Every structure is written in structure tokens, then in C-alpha cells.
């Protein structure tokens, strides 16, 4: 295997960046009645509609159900999932930038994208959410007496799941079992503490409670397959080793791989047994209907399967040749291919294999005496990989090969190609350089003397053989590549009636060989801190108290709020994108990301500028991104910032403006001005580049304007010029702090012109339009359409406390027009009319359309020009991140119902009955732009902060009379609480972690008109003065005050 195969591609064929899933295809995949069935499980949102309502594709009267509207504002109850609603759940449960591991709804860990293998995703997982996949053996089980039950849906039927990211809570009950088991799963997650939140570790803490009337003797255990070199581990010359290490706080089962001591010489030439380069299965006996009449040709493989990795022109693939007509039915076939007999005369049998990871069901078997001697499966990956059977001990025996597919549902297929008999297996690449080389560990915390290790379980019926009668703590067990090596740890429990015990396991991993094609930086950041998975486990054990306590404290602080549970859930779960394979951190500390998992490289500026979660939770990562990428390698001599860093060579207007705004945001989330001082020369250059695009200095850009919709637009564009003006205001604010008053004045003079011109030229009485350049009618442009980002510049201004960019009256009118013309409780009729575009909201689902065309002078065909259909099709889509941006702006402007309704529509689209609620899809899974939802939270709080100035402000939009929310600042986080009446407003700032330096506090007092203020710190008076300005009470303290952990500052306005 060459090094290039180990690298993650910048954008692979499996990315599906520009793929389009048609409505009919979606209905084929899911079944025509599924949308209605799923909708029936959710609260009624709107309707009923008459036929006349749909004559206008986006009804003006949304007919929102009053109960649904009420639920937008109510605190509600935590959502607990059960039954079929568990099947799609995949909560990222590893550390930030440490790979992607999912916690399933039944508590089982799945997906396991930790091996530095490129996995490209696109738009498809919205319409066709993937089923859980398990690339290696891992799980937990409970034994009571002789009965063993796995801790998942196979062992328990009554399971509940509650996700409170970063913690997942799973409960297991069964009336036949005298105990109740509660799982608390998490990876340490502590805002502002990035290193401790970036551990390649998952904690699985099980609490077992005796619910019966008699004492219970039980045993709980976990197992882990040694999956080191999972993808490159061909048989021959290499071994996997599993060994136990017992310490006071930690009992560890560590998994590694090594080179075999003995190297046997090559004796004979290879023999190609089968290459499948023919039209039939000549030489094989065919059973069933899965494999068709012959091997599939490369040209006839369905496009959605991607590259199968064929050696030649043809291969076996039971999905491609299956009897169905689409992705949802082609796995329905079953069958076998059985070879003619042969004599084993070489040491290894090599082959390519792909498809489902279903031992015994989708596999290649070696049959000796009509019994399975060795077997191999795919890794839930269509692309085949090289693998081998070690058959040295069978030399001289007669055998057959058997290709099996007996599974009918998801990943019920197998692919096989190029079978060769050889004495020389394996990759030429050194073991230690392979992308999946490293180590793994399963650990038990707080070691007990009777804890038991079994370093080598049988490969089948694992749970039943999990609990040995005595401990085996030998120096370790080895098995050659090609044979499974599964180890286990277990603990005995004695529980009296009503008593409970907690057993905490930790799974860790360490795979340092990360390479991404086109990026010079390499390696994993966590590998710069730890030398092995065992060291990671040791760190977790030694620091478990603060890691677990502070993770729970953040979770508790987040949910200790008056905001609706549904909103708190949706906002914070999208920060899990940082713990997906969208995000990486190289060994040198640099942060780098895709747009979505494996799709569109280079921490794309015009996508990531929408995301606010990381900036508020882990601001050091944003500062690294600004300093090392945007104003480091991406900044060119003329001031242009290449929006994909080293992965492209062009700037974009929205990215350039957004990056300048993000410098101000990152400065505000700092303690002093050191960061801004370092970046200020680059900020001026970047601003000068934008100003140069405004040739006549009137505040409106009219030339070519590349942007996040992936083409160049021309003419005055309200959206892009608005961002330009907002960036100028940000630069002016930074210039003030840098003492560059002339430059600040220059920026503000352009803004003043632009504010006037943008209203006079581009506001049509209902919303802001784009004037098409007559010289570029072929270019894509929304024209007089109602476009979702038209006033985004003002939305950004709110995020960083800038003056208004767009006037309030016209802005609100534009947002109300977005609601009127773009929001539909059912996007189906609109998409039936406007078919181009991907599906991120299906028929029967609500959404805010990217662009509608309510004017007679402009429509989709004109907006498309002669541009590519895939790009123009964006107008017809509902994309989560854009919707959140518009929704947050609505909330900032006081259009609370509209903003919450748009946000809730996305939340409902990702209900667990429909798809994985933790995976918001655009161009790729866990799409970065979805972190724009944090802006909705900030808007609901009316939050403002400037660390270097010691300024913090709140202006609650929801229930200001009784309001409580979490907040994060440069050095700490805590809770803000407000109780207000007409004559008095009482507010408290409580720091739960770190500290907050404050000099000025701004509080909204739109109804109350206080004449005085009392400020106290831990009950002691603090001097300060009060000013009332624009509905705000500005409290200036006599001197800086530092609020430390556990301390409370109270303000009484009266």
C-alpha cells in the first residue's frame, strides 16, 4: 500500500459535493408512506391546508398550530427516546479532534472512525440515514447467576436514551432482571480547557442498582477487539498483542501490534486463483439471487457506491448485482458463490474484500471438510481492501472458497475480487507508518483485587464466554494478523436490596499517523501529549475526579436555564461537530477542518464564518485558526485571504469579510489585546483588499464576488455588500483599540455611504434585492428573489456588538418577508415545482428556503443564467446553517416567534424518528455551518462581551421577567440570572468555572426606568455608577472586579 492511499483526500468521489437526490429517488429509498408515518410521531406543527393553500407554493398563512407555537416558548421537559426512536442515534462521544465514535441509542459504541482512514460523505445521509456499523468487536454485558445479557438492544428490550451533550444517559430495565442499569457515557468536555476536552477517550460508567427484595451477586464486563491495523492488517509477518496491566487506580487491557520475530523466505510464485474478469461465474456454483448472472462491470456499479477499488474491470458485488432497483432494495437478495476444490500449496490466500461487516452473513469463507476454517468480512465500506487468510497450518489439505450474502437489510452485501495464492502477503509499507497503526486500551477505574482479565476470548458468542472463573494476567497474548484477538475485563458486584454500585470503564485509542492530502502538517495533536492509549487511560484515571466533575458541571450549568429544553438540546448538540471527523488538530497544534466529514477541504472560510460554537466554547482554537491559517499561510501580499488555506488559491467576498469579523470576535473572547496586536497589520491588509473591490468607494461592491454559493456573482448584492460594511465597522472598532484613528475614520466614512446607498438602491419596500449586472446575465444571481442571507451583515454586527449596518425598520421588514416568502410548513409543493437541488428538507417537512422568487420580473431560470445546475439548485434547498443564521437574526430583532419557529423546524427535521439527531447534513455529515445555531442562543440571551475591556451584557429575549442562562467568557463560565418587575430588576452573575474580570455591565431595561443601582459581590457592596442609554442600563464599576469560581455578583436596579 502506498503512502498516498493512507492520506485523506482533499475531496474524494465519495464526497458527493454536487450530488442531487431526486424526490422520487428519496421516496424509493424510504418508502412512499414513511414521511407521513414519521410526521405522525411529532407534535402537529401546522394545518390543515386546503388545495388552495398550495396554489401559492409558500403559503402566506402558515397556519401554525397554536399548541406547537406555545411549545416554542415553554420550558418543556427533557426528551427521552425509546423503542424505534433509538435506531439512528449516534452521539459523538470521543474528544475534540480525536476521531469520531458514536454512542448509540442502546448504549452501544459504533462507527469508530479513529484510524485516519479517509471517509468521504456528501448529502446522502439526510435522505438515507446510515444504520449503525460495528467495524470490530466491542461491548459490555451483565451476568446474574448463569444468565448473561449484553448491555444493548440484544440484551434488553426496555431501553431509554437521553442525550445531554456531552453526556449520554442510557437506562436498561427488564422485569425478569432484579437490577436496573444506568449508563453515563461521555468524553471529558470542559469549555475553555481544550486539552482536557480533546482526549481520545470514552468513559462508560455503569450504575447497577438492586431493585429486588433479595441480595444479588452480579458481574459486569466489557470486551475490546484489538483493532490495531484494522484496515492494513494483512496476514503474515505481523502480530497483534493484548496484555493486562494492573495498577492502584487502573486495570488496563492494552492492544498493540508488532512485527513477527520469524520471517519465512518466499518459496514459490503467486497463483492467481480468480480475477473475475469474465461475464459469468464459470468455475463457481451459484446459489440464490444476490450475485446475478456474473461479476459486475465497473461501469455498471451504481454511482452512489463510489469507488469499489476493483483490480480490473469486474468484481463480485452483491449490492450492484442484487435484485432490487434502488439503494434501499438491492441488499434484499441472498445467495452464495462456491468455488471448485483446490489444494492448499501456498502459505496465504490473498483477496480484496468489501461490503458489510456481518460475520457469517456477508463474508468470504475458506471451507475445509465442508466447515468454515477461516472467514473475512468487509468493514461497512463499499471500497474493497486487501486481506489475507493465513493457511500455513492447512498446507496440503483440499479446500473451497465460499462467498456468502445472507443478510437482507443495511450493509447486507459483500464485494470480492482478485483471489491469489501466495507465500508473500502484506503491505510493503512499514508497520509503524501505516495510518491505522497505534494502540487501543480498555480500562477499569479504581482497581479491585478480584477484577478479572481475559486477554483472549473466543471470536464468537463473546458475551457468553466473557466471564472467566479465574484471572489470567499473563505477559500477554499474540495472534497473527488475520485472526481476531479479543480481550475483556470484568468486576464482581454484591448488592443488597436497594443498593447500587458504579463500575467505570474507559476506552482509549492512539493512532498518530494522520495525513491529509494537500496539507503539509501531519500527525495527531493528542499524540504530542501521550505516547500510547495506555498513557491516555492512565491520565484519565489519575485525573478522573476533575475531568468527570467539571464535565458534569458544564452539563448541569447548560441545562440550569429557563430556555426551552428543545432549544438547549439543539444548540449544544451541534458543538459535537468538533468531536466528529469534520475537525482535526495536527501534531503541531494547528486546527484544520472539512466543511463536513471528508468533504470540501481547508477549513473553508465562507462556511466556517457562520459557526459560532467553537468561538464561544473553545476560543483558543479559533485564535489558532485566525493566526496560523487565515492571517498566516492564507494571507497573500495584496491582502486577499484564500478561503481554503493551502487547499485553494482564490479569495471570496463573504469569507474575507467574515474572517475580519471573526478577528474582532476572537479578540473579544481574549483577556487582553495581545492577539489583536499580532494580527492588526494583516487585518488592515485584508480590509484594504475589500476596499479595493469597492472601486468608487460608495460602500457597494459590484465586480466579481465569489461566495459560499460557489460561483462568482456580479452587480450590487445586498448580502455581500452588507457583510463588507459590517467588516468595515469591525475594522474601525479594532483600529480604535490600536490607536489608528485615521484608518477607523476611513472605514466609517465608507460605511456611511454604503448604508445610504444599500437602502436607496437595493431595498424594494419588502426586502433587499440584488441588481443584476447586464454584462453578466449568464452568471448566477438571485436578482429580485428573496434571498436568505440578504441582511447577514447586520446579524454579524449583533454577534460582536457593533453599531447597526442596516436600518432597523427595513431590516425587520426584510426578515418578515423572509418568513412570508421563504418559510413553508411543508416544502414539498415548492420542491415539486423547483426540482434542482439537494434534499435537506423532504416533502412533509418544514424549512426556510434559500431563495424564493415572488416577483414577476425574476424566476429560477433567470437566476440560474448559464451557471451549473448544481450551484443554482442551492436556491431551492433548505440548508440548516443558513436557516440558523436567519433565525438568530430574527431573534435579535425581536421577531421571536419567527426565529424560534425556523430553528424548531430544523430541530424537528432531525428528530430521532427520522434520522440521527446529532448529524446535521449539508455537503457532508456533521456540517460545520450548523454551529450557526449557537448564534440563536446568543440572540436569545442578548449576550455581548469584550474581555479586554471588561465588558459583559445581557438583553434577554425570552421571559426577561424570569430568565436564567449559561454564559462563557475568556477565562471562565457560569450562569446569568434575572428577575424583573416594573419597578425593579435583580440580576446575578455566578461563576462556576474559572473567573470573569468585569468593569462594565450592560442590562436591558426596556420597561423599567431605574434611577439607581446597587452592586454587591458575595454580599459586600461594590461601588459603581448607572447610565441609561437606548433601553440599556450601563453599570460602570469603580474599579475592575474579578469574580472567581463560586462567587456571585448581584445587581439591583430600581
- Distance, in Å, from the CA atom of 616 to the CA atom of 608, rounded to the nearest integer, reads 14
Q: What value does the mean pLDDT take over residues 640-658?
A: 97
Contact 980, 986 (CB under 8 A): yes
pLDDT over 90, % of the chain = 85
Q: Which of 881, 905, 939 is the last residue of a domain?
A: 939
Q: What is the pairing mode between strands 985-1004 and 951-954?
A: parallel
- Using alpha carbons, select from 381, 5, 380, 443 the residue that is nearest to residue 199: 443
**Residue 409 shares a structural domain with residue 441:** no
- Using alpha carbons, select from 911, 876, 673 the residue that is nearest to residue 785: 876
Contact 953, 944 (CB under 8 A): yes
Is the pLDDT at 30 greater than 90? The verdict is: no
- What is the model's pLDDT at position 234? 76
Supply φ then ψ for residue 705, to 5 degrees.
-135, 90
- Distance, in Å, from the CA atom of 525 to the CA atom of 962, rounded to the nearest integer, reads 43
pLDDT, one tens digit per residue, over 882-896 is: 999 999 999 999 999
- Using alpha carbons, select from 679, 601, 115 the residue that is nearest to residue 385: 115
- What is the model's pLDDT at position 386? 87
Contact 993, 550 (CB under 8 A): yes
- What is the model's pLDDT at position 681? 99
Cell 424560534, located at residue: 900
Question: Given pLDDT bands bounded at 50, 70 and 90, which one contains residue 641?
Answer: very high
**Residue 585 shares a structural domain with residue 642:** yes
Quote helix, strand, coil % in the chain, to nearest 5: 30, 30, 45
**C-alpha neighbours within 13 Å on the C-beta side of residue 901:** 29
pLDDT, one tens digit per residue, over 487-498 is: 999 999 999 999
**Residue 463 shares a structural domain with residue 531:** yes
Q: What value does the mean pLDDT take over residues 799-817?
A: 98
Q: Which of 423, 454, 480 is the last residue of a domain?
A: 423
- What is the model's pLDDT at position 733? 99
Is the pLDDT at 72 greater than 70? The verdict is: yes
- What is the model's pLDDT at position 24? 32
> Judging by beta carbons within 10 Å of its beta carbon (0-12, 13-18, 19+), is residue 774 exposed, middle or buried?
exposed
- Distance, in Å, from the CA atom of 599 to the CA atom of 546, rounded to the nearest integer, reads 36
- Distance, in Å, from the CA atom of 430 to the CA atom of 434, rounded to the nearest integer, reads 7
Task: Indicate the SS3 state at residue 543.
Answer: coil
Greatest C-alpha distance within the chain: 98
- What is the model's pLDDT at position 328? 73
Q: How does the average pLDDT of the chain come out, rounded?
A: 93
Q: Tell me the pTM.
A: 0.88
Which DSSP helix (H) or strand (E) runs through 667? helix 653-668
Q: What value does the mean pLDDT take over residues 954-971?
A: 98
- What is the model's pLDDT at position 56? 74
- Distance, in Å, from the CA atom of 99 to the CA atom of 533, rounded to the nearest integer, reads 14
Query: What CATH number is given to the structural domain containing 774?
Result: 1.50.10.10
pLDDT, one tens digit per residue, over 302-361 is: 988 888 999 899 999 999 999 987 777 888 899 999 999 999 999 899 999 999 988 999
- What is the model's pLDDT at position 102? 99
Q: In total, how many domains does the chain have?
A: 4
The 3-state secondary structure of 1002-1051, one letter per residue = EEECCCCCCCCEEEEECCEEECEEEEEECCEEEEEEEEEEEEECCCEEEE
DSSP annotation string for 832-862: HHS--S--SS-TT--EE-SEE--STT--HHH
**Residue 620 shares a structural domain with residue 670:** yes
**Residue 798 shares a structural domain with residue 868:** yes
pLDDT, one tens digit per residue, over 143-194 is: 999 999 999 999 999 999 999 999 999 999 999 999 999 999 999 999 999 9
**Residue 280 shares a structural domain with residue 234:** no
DSSP annotation string for 914-962: TS-TT---BSBSS-GGGGGHHHHHHHHHT-EEETTTTEEEE--SS-TTE
243: in domain: yes
- What is the model's pLDDT at position 264? 59
- Distance, in Å, from the CA atom of 685 to the CA atom of 656, rounded to the nearest integer, reads 11
- Distance, in Å, from the CA atom of 667 to the CA atom of 662, rounded to the nearest integer, reads 8
Q: What value does the mean pLDDT take over residues 1-25?
A: 41
84: in domain: no
Q: List the end-to-end C-alpha distance of the chain, in Å, as a whole number.
A: 74
**Residue 819 shares a structural domain with residue 919:** yes
**Residue 876 shares a structural domain with residue 999:** no
Question: Given pLDDT bands bounded at 50, 70 and 90, which one contains residue 27?
Answer: very low
**Residue 877 shares a structural domain with residue 951:** no
Q: What is the pairing mode between strands 158-164 and 1032-1044?
A: unpaired
Query: What CATH number is given to the structural domain containing 389?
Result: 2.60.120.200
- What is the model's pLDDT at position 910? 99
pLDDT, one tens digit per residue, over 380-408 is: 889 998 888 989 899 999 999 999 999 99
pLDDT, one tens digit per residue, over 541-568 is: 999 999 999 999 999 999 999 999 999 9
What radius of gyration do the chain's Cα atoms show? 30
pLDDT, one tens digit per residue, over 739-782 is: 999 999 999 999 999 999 999 999 999 999 999 999 999 999 99
Is the pLDDT at 475 greater than 70? The verdict is: no
**Residue 404 shares a structural domain with residue 455:** no
31: in domain: no
526: in domain: yes
- Using alpha carbons, select from 803, 772, 769 the residue that is nearest to residue 786: 769
- What is the model's pLDDT at position 237? 75
Is the pLDDT at 297 greater than 70? The verdict is: yes
489: in domain: yes
Is the pLDDT at 670 greater than 60? The verdict is: yes
Copy the grid coordinates of residue 1007: 420597561
- Distance, in Å, from the CA atom of 993 to the CA atom of 676, rounded to the nearest integer, reads 25
- What is the model's pLDDT at position 265? 62
Domain range for 962: 942-1053
Question: Given pLDDT bands bounded at 50, 70 and 90, which one contains residue 427?
Answer: low
Q: Which of 889, 917, 939 is the last residue of a domain?
A: 939
> Judging by beta carbons within 10 Å of its beta carbon (0-12, 13-18, 19+), is residue 649 exposed, middle or buried?
exposed
Copy the grid coordinates of residue 171: 437506562
- Using alpha carbons, select from 348, 346, 277, 356 the residue that is nearest to residue 311: 277
Contact 572, 920 (CB under 8 A): no
Least confident among 18-32, 200-214, 762-776: 18-32
- What is the model's pLDDT at position 423? 87
pLDDT, one tens digit per residue, over 942-958 is: 999 999 999 999 999 99
Question: Given pLDDT bands bounded at 50, 70 and 90, which one contains residue 35?
Answer: very low
- Distance, in Å, from the CA atom of 937 to the CA atom of 520, rounded to the nearest integer, reads 37
45: in domain: no
Is the pLDDT at 797 greater than 90? The verdict is: yes
Which residues, in sequence order, are CB contacts of 218 under 8 Å at separation 6+? 142, 143, 144, 179, 208, 492, 493, 495
573: in domain: yes
- What is the model's pLDDT at position 39? 43
- Distance, in Å, from the CA atom of 393 to the CA atom of 123, rounded to the nearest integer, reads 47
**Residue 326 shares a structural domain with residue 377:** yes
Is the pLDDT at 10 greater than 50? The verdict is: no
82: in domain: no
Supply φ then ψ for residue 1009, to 5 degrees.
-125, 75
Question: Given pLDDT bands bounded at 50, 70 and 90, which one contains residue 36?
Answer: very low
**Residue 726 shares a structural domain with residue 648:** yes
Query: What CATH number is given to the structural domain containing 1009?
Result: 2.60.40.1180
Amino acid at each position: 500500500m502506498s503512502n498516498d492511499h493512507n492520506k485523506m483526500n482533499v475531496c474524494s468521489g465519495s464526497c458527493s459535493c454536487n450530488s442531487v437526490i431526486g424526490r422520487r429517488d428519496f421516496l424509493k429509498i424510504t418508502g412512499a408512506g414513511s414521511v407521513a408515518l414519521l410526521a405522525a410521531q411529532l407534535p402537529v406543527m401546522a394545518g390543515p391546508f386546503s388545495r388552495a393553500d398550495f396554489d401559492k407554493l409558500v403559503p402566506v398563512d402558515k397556519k401554525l398550530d397554536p399548541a406547537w407555537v406555545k411549545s416554542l416558548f415553554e420550558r418543556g421537559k427533557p426528551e427521552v427516546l425509546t423503542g424505534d426512536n433509538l435506531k439512528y442515534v449516534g452521539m459523538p462521544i470521543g474528544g475534540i479532534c480525536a476521531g469520531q465514535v458514536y454512542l448509540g441509542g442502546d448504549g452501544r459504541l459504533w462507527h469508530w472512525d479513529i484510524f485516519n482512514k479517509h471517509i468521504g460523505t456528501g448529502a446522502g445521509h439526510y435522505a438515507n440515514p446510515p444504520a449503525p456499523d460495528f467495524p470490530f468487536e466491542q461491548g459490555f454485558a451483565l451476568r446474574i447467576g448463569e444468565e448473561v445479557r449484553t448491555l444493548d438492544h440484544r440484551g434488553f428490550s426496555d431501553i431509554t436514551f437521553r442525550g445531554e451533550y456531552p453526556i449520554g444517559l442510557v437506562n436498561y430495565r427488564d422485569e425478569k432482571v432484579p437490577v436496573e442499569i444506568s449508563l453515563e457515557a461521555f468524553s471529558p468536555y470542559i469549555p475553555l480547557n481544550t486539552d482536557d476536552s480533546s482526549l481520545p477517550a470514552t468513559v462508560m460508567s455503569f450504575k447497577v442498582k438492586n431493585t429486588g427484595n433479595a441480595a444479588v451477586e452480579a458481574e459486569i464486563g466489557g470486551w475490546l477487539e484489538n483493532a490495531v491495523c484494522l484496515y492494513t492488517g494483512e496476514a503474515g509477518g505481523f502480530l497483534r498483542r493484548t496484555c493486562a496491566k494492573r495498577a492502584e487506580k487502573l486495570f488496563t487491557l492494552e492492544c498493540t501490534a508488532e512485527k513477527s520475530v520469524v520471517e519465512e523466505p518466499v518459496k514459490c510464485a503467486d497463483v492467481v486463483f480468480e480475477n473475475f474478469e469474465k461475464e459469468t461465474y464459470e468455475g463457481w456454483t451459484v446459489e440464490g439471487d444476490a450475485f446475478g448472472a456474473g461479476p459486475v462491470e465497473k461501469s455498471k456499479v451504481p454511482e452512489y457506491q463510489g469507488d469499489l477499488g476493483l483490480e480490473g474491470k469486474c468484481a463480485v458485488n452483491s449490492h450492484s448485482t442484487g435484485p432490487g432497483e434502488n439503494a434501499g432494495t438491492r441488499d434484499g437478495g441472498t445467495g452464495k458463490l462456491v468455488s471448485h476444490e483446490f489444494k492448499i500449496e501456498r502459505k496465504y490466500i490473498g483477496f480484496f474484500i468489501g461490503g458489510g461487516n456481518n460475520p457469517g452473513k456477508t463474508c468470504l469463507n475458506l471451507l475445509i471438510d465442508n466447515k468454515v476454517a477461516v472467514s473475512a468480512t468487509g468493514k461497512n465500506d463499499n471500497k474493497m481492501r486487501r486481506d489475507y487468510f493465513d493457511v500455513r497450518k492447512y498446507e496440503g489439505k483440499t479446500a473451497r472458497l465460499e462467498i456468502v450474502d445472507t443478510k437482507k437489510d443495511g450493509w447486507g452485501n459483500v464485494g470480492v475480487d482478485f483471489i491469489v495464492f501466495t507465500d508473500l502477503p502484506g503491505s510493503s509499507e512499514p508497520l509503524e507508518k501505516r495510518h491505522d497503526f497505534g494502540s487501543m486500551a480498555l480500562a477499569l477505574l479504581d482497581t479491585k483485587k478480584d477484577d478479572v482479565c481475559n486477554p483472549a476470548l473466543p471470536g464468537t458468542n463473546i458475551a457468553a464466554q466473557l466471564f472467566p472463573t479465574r484471572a489470567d494476567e499473563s505477559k500477554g497474548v499474540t495472534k497473527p494478523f488475520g485472526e481476531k484477538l479479543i480481550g475483556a475485563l470484568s468486576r464482581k458486584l454484591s448488592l443488597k436490596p436497594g443498593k447500587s454500585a458504579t463500575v467505570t470503564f474507559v476506552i482509549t485509542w492512539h493512532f498518530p499517523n494522520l495525513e491529509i492530502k494537500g496539507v503539509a502538517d501531519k500527525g495527531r495533536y493528542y499524540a504530542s501529549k501521550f505516547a500510547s492509549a495506555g498513557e491516555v487511560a492512565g491520565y484519565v484515571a489519575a485525573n478522573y475526579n476533575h475531568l468527570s466533575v467539571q464535565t458534569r458541571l458544564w452539563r448541569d450549568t447548560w441545562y440550569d436555564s429557563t430556555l426551552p429544553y428543545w432549544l438547549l438540546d439543539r444548540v449544544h448538540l451541534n458543538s459535537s461537530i468538533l468531536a466528529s471527523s469534520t475537525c482535526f488538530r495536527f501534531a503541531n497544534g494547528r486546527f484544520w477542518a472539512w466543511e463536513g466529514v471528508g468533504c470540501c477541504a481547508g477549513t473553508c472560510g465562507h462556511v466556517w464564518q457562520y459557526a459560532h460554537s467553537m468561538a464561544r466554547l473553545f476560543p483558543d482554537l479559533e485564535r489558532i485558526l485566525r493566526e496560523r491559517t487565515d492571517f498566516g499561510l492564507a494571507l497573500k501580499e495584496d491582502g486577499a485571504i484564500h478561503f481554503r488555506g493551502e487547499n485553494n488559491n482564490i479569495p471570496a467576498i463573504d469569507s474575507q469579510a467574515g474572517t475580519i469579523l471573526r478577528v474582532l470576535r476572537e479578540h473579544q473572547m481574549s483577556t487582553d489585546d495581545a492577539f489583536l496586536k499580532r494580527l492588526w497589520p494583516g487585518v488592515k491588509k485584508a480590509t484594504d483588499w475589500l476596499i479595493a473591490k469597492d472601486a468608487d468607494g460608495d460602500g457597494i461592491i459590484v465586480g466579481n464576488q465569489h461566495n459560499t454559493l460557489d460561483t462568482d456573482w456580479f452587480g450590487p448584492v445586498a448580502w455581500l455588500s452588507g457583510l463588507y460594511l459590517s467588516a468595515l465597522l469591525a475594522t474601525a472598532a479594532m483600529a480604535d483599540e490600536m490607536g489608528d484613528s485615521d484608518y477607523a475614520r476611513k472605514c466609517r466614512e465608507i460605511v456611511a455611504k454604503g448604508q445610504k446607498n444599500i437602502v436607496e438602491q437595493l431595498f424594494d419596500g419588502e426586502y433587499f434585492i440584488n441588481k443584476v449586472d447586464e454584462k453578466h446575465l449568464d452568471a448566477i444571481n438571485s436578482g429580485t428573489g428573496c434571498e436568505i442571507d440578504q441582511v447577514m451583515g447586520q446579524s454579524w454586527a449583533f454577534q460582536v456588538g457593533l453599531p447597526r449596518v442596516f436600518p432597523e425598520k427595513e431590516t425587520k421588514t426584510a426578515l418578515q418577508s423572509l418568513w412570508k416568502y421563504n418559510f413553508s410548513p411543508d416544502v414539498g409543493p415548492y420542491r415539486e415545482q423547483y426540482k434542482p437541488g439537494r434534499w435537506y428538507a423532504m416533502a412533509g417537512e418544514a424549512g426556510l428556503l434559500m431563495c424564493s422568487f415572488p416577483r414577476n420580473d425574476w424566476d429560477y431560470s433567470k437566476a440560474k443564467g448559464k451557471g451549473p445546475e448544481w450551484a443554482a439548485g442551492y436556491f431551492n434547498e433548505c440548508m440548516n446553517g443558513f436557516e440558523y443564521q436567519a433565525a438568530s437574526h430574527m431573534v435579535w430583532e425581536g421577531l421571536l416567534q419567527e426565529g424560534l419557529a425556523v430553528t424548531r423546524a430544523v430541530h424537528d427535521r432531525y428528530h430521532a424518528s427520522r434520522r440521527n439527531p446529532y448529524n446535521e447534513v449539508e455537503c457532508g455529515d456533521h456540517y460545520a455551518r450548523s454551529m450557526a445555531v449557537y448564534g440563536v442562543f446568543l440572540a436569545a440571551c442578548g449576550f455581548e462581551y469584550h474581555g479586554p475591556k471588561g465588558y459583559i451584557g445581557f438583553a434577554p429575549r425570552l421571559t426577561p421577567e424570569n430568565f436564567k442562562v449559561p454564559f462563557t467568557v475568556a477565562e471562565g463560565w457560569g450562569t446569568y440570572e434575572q428577575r424583573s418587575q416594573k419597578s425593579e430588576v435583580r440580576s446575578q452573575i455566578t461563576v462556576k468555572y474559572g473567573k470573569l474580570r468585569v468593569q462594565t455591565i450592560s442590562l436591558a431595561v426596556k420597561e423599567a426606568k431605574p434611577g439607581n443601582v446597587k452592586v454587591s459581590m458575595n454580599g459586600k457592596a461594590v461601588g459603581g455608577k448607572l447610565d441609561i442609554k437606548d433601553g440599556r442600563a450601563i453599570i460602570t464599576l469603580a474599579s475592575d472586579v474579578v469574580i472567581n469560581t463560586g462567587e456571585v455578583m448581584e445587581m439591583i436596579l430600581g
